[in-house]
Structure 1
Amino acid sequence: MISQNKNIYSVSSLNRAAKSLLETGLGVIWLSGEISNLTIAVSGHWYFTLKDHSAQVRCAMFKGNNYRSGFTPKHGQQVLIRGKLSLYEARGDYQLIIESMAPEGDGLLKQQFEALKCQLAGEGLFAENHKKQLPQILKRIGIITSSTGAALHDILSVLKRRDPRLQVIIYPSQVQGVGSAESVAAQIQLANARNECDVLIVGRGGGSLEDLWCFNEAIVAYAIFNSRLPIISAVGHEIDVTISDFVADIRAATPSAAAELVSQSKVFVETQLQNLLTRLKGAMSGRLQLNTHQQNLLKQKLLQHDPKHKLQQQNMQLDELSRRLLHGMGKILDQETHKQQQQQNRLLQFSPEQTVNIALQKQQQLKTRLQTAMLSKLKQSERNLQSNIAQLNTVSPLATLARGYAIVKDKKGKVTTDAASLAVGDEINVRLHEGEIKAQVL
């Protein structure tokens, strides 16, 4: 009797449904186990069994995926794999389709690496807006690495060859093993606290993933992110990638490449030096022009206060006073003469001889007194004049010459007060109190 149940599966449909359930139910899984029964097909695919102490599962890893694994597994090797559970419909056997595989130690590290990378990326530690630019001119470089490692030797060799002027401060750190991550982070914090470098190079030479692991620790990533100083990550070889590379402001493929980044070639330094020298010469030229202009202004002011100029002004004032004095004396004489003439006329009007004689005597007395007064006035004026002349002579350059001094002029007639302004062989004119002589500087 044939059943009326419509949910009857064929073997093929059953296996197909089972395959769909397996592939969608678990998704991508990680699995650790030991390899056995390894078969490497001519096509390049790998087929093996993954087992532990009490169970096993068949696995297949196709050529494209096993090429990226970077190693060839061996029988009995413990591995960590990532893949999807599936079913081989032809035989009804379920199996694991492997996407990636690594030796168990490295595999766990890679899994931790990916997890931390996703976490830090989500926190924004890799964002470009947090990256700091290197200063244009670097004077001092800080290096955080092992003091005995090959990386330090490579960096110093490049710096010595390309830019020996750069100063280097080494912050020795443990870069491998237990406590190395804490050591690197502490040195980054120390360099920031001392603030004596323009940029930091953090790294080490090549090695296995486990050797480089301290640069994949969160404590180092946060120390790099919080650093005020720009940091160049230079870990391992070009193919090595660490969390530090993502967080750092600049990633260098190798420690030597980091040294190339921070060092400037001699040609660049010489060009910069030449530009600075040109600017210095321009500034000095401008300063000299300004000083020359100020010196010319001072010379003009000095000429305005020249004693010779003042003496000329005083001589002109003396001439004016002498002219006014003579004019005044002449005017007084004219007035007295006019008065005398008037008196004579009055005497002629009154002819008595006695009166005339008395008048004549009185006239003679007045004349005598007038002459005496005039002579006294003239002598007093003469004394005043001589006093003024004596005072003028005390400040006159001629009086200075009379005391044995001389006035030296160059061949252009310019008064020379500084021997440094003359050169050997220059002709000079020496004015003495009496006469002038020509001389030559020896």
Structure 2
Amino acid sequence: MLLEGEMGTVALSGEISNLATPGSGHWYFSLKDQQSQLRCAMFRGNNRSVAFRPKNGDQVLIVGKVTLYEPRGDYQLVAQTMAPAGEGLLKQQYEALKQRLGAEGLFDAQRKQALPSHPVRIGIISSPTGAALHDILSVLARRAPHLQVIIYPSQVQGDMATPQLISALELANRRDETDVLILARGGGSLEDLWCFNDERLIRAIAASHLPVVSAVGHEVDITLSDLVADLRAPTPSAAAELISRDTDTQQQQYQQWQQRLQQAQRRYLLQSSHRLTRLSARLQLQHPRQQLQQQAQQLDQLQARLQRALHQRLTQAQQRLGNARLRLQHQHPAQGLQSRQLALNGLQLRLSNQLKTRLDRSAHQLALAGSRLNAISPLATLARGYSITQHGAQVITHASQLKAGDTLRTRLAKGEVLSQVVSVSEV
């Protein structure tokens, strides 16, 4: 009663989100700004007079009354009129940031990296429980089961999404254990995808030395992450298909080779059949002994050809095996580890030599400083036969400072002498 009877008619300006338009013709949405949001409803009798079709992200001015929706215990604003109040705040922020980062060259094509032609290991930055990760893994398992996948889990929505996405991206670059990264999330509203428009994440993607494929939302959703990434995929599944495209090419090539081999076999069998037919005809025309002799000669020739072919095939196979073994040795991790160990040993030796040189130089400088300090030390002056005479805490430099009977303390190079003034002369 207080809300509905005392508040009266109010006017609010904000951004529409979570808009729902069921078949009843009523509109249900939230009106929000940077600090808060309010549930709203606009029933069919009132929304018929609205001159435009509202959508999520629209900035609107609404006049209505506050009421209580008793079944849910929520207060809401029942809108009576709605008018546009400019573009939605998030869209305005999106366009402003897009123009500013674009002016810096972050979206330029010349700064983008090419994807590896034969990736071995793929990194995926996404929610570990999301449908986007499941779609990517399903496509890779079907098209390229040999590819290794490393998952860097992160939230993809909410306040903690941006720092977690940046942390996962930096971790992947620091480990440098993948050939390409996929930044993935399923579809959603502009608010749901807003973390992928965060300037901090955009700059982190631009700074990545690993190629990044952005697969955020559906095909119609375009975020700033899509623009700065090295490649944009319309969906997470499409990203997996793009990366595994070379595997399909290899499969097609293998199929073409198989077809060519089958055609060659058919031609060989056909030629052999024709040759057999001719030989049969000749066998009928010639004496069996002569035919046997000719066939024996042909058998010897064929056997020699077979031996040469087998020897040639064996030699070629051995050469291919040797080349493959050589390539394997060159690519063996032990080679890289050994070279890196040698480099590490060299760096450690250089570091040890530089430290020793630095310590020797510092010791020499310390000795010189000590020598210079000793040269101006009062103790060195005392060692040459001079002394310091004090009356109490006062150093005596003139006879007028003393009178008969004063007790003096004289400091020598070794030890002190106490004396008493008998007389004073200021000559």
**TM-score, normalised via structure 2 length:** 0.43
Of the two, which has the highest radius of gyration?
Answer: 1
**TM-score, normalised via structure 1 length:** 0.41
